[in-house]
Amino acid sequence: TRRIEAVTAKKALDYVDGFIQQVRQIQELVNGQQVIKSIEGLLAERTELLKKVESMEHQQVEGLRARLLKEKKGDYVSAVVEVPSSNALKQLAMELRKEIGYVVLGTVIDGKPMIAVAVSDEAIKSHGLHAGQIVKAAASEIGGTGGGQPSYAMGGGNRPEGLKAAVESARGFIELKVG
């Protein structure tokens, strides 16, 4: 069944007047130009800007990846980093995972601490590591929880002051397993 709602008389006029008022406000915002073309232009500009931001984030992650690889200790990277988003954190961890055995990264995004762990397939097989278990154990340091797959996991919390301890906890967990 379908439900049809209708407005009549004064309410109908008020309803239409509301839409007309909105169109006038939009016209004022685009300086009286053609509204549809102006909105299409703004949307196209927004799309271009988002692509540029994404490209800049990728470059930032790539630079950070190169720096972390230079600073790595043995077959792992463990660090608190600055990245713009959880997607950038994941991208960084997965890129590093391709080149080294284990990765432990922590960051704070919008005031919320996050930890990511990535483990190579070889480390999973040879040492029985499971990124989800590592994150679950370490996330308690940041007042949160987390989990995921054996190869990659992420956790979050609400205590940024515990981030360094969470990263150290995850690194320690790995060192115990690896020996």
pLDDT at 28 over 80: yes
- What single-letter amino acid sits at 83? V
Instruction: Please give the pLDDT value at position 164.
Output: 97
Q: Could you tell me where the DSSP H helices lie in 98-162?
A: 121-127, 131-138
Instruction: Please give the pLDDT value at position 7.
Output: 86
* Separation CA 150–CA 145 (nearest Å): 16
* Separation CA 15–CA 65 (nearest Å): 56
pLDDT digits (tens, 9 = 90+) for 1-10: 889 888 889 9
In this prediction the pTM is 0.77
H/E element, 67: helix 35-71
pLDDT digits (tens, 9 = 90+) for 47-94: 999 999 999 988 999 999 999 999 887 888 999 999 999 999 999 999
Can you list the positions of beta strands (E) in the chain? Answer: 76-80, 102-109, 112-119, 145-148, 152-156
* Separation CA 135–CA 130 (nearest Å): 9
Average pLDDT over residues 112-119: 97
pLDDT digits (tens, 9 = 90+) for 119-156: 999 989 999 999 999 999 999 999 999 989 999 999 99
Instruction: Please give the pLDDT value at position 62.
Output: 93
CB atoms within 10 A of CB 156: 18
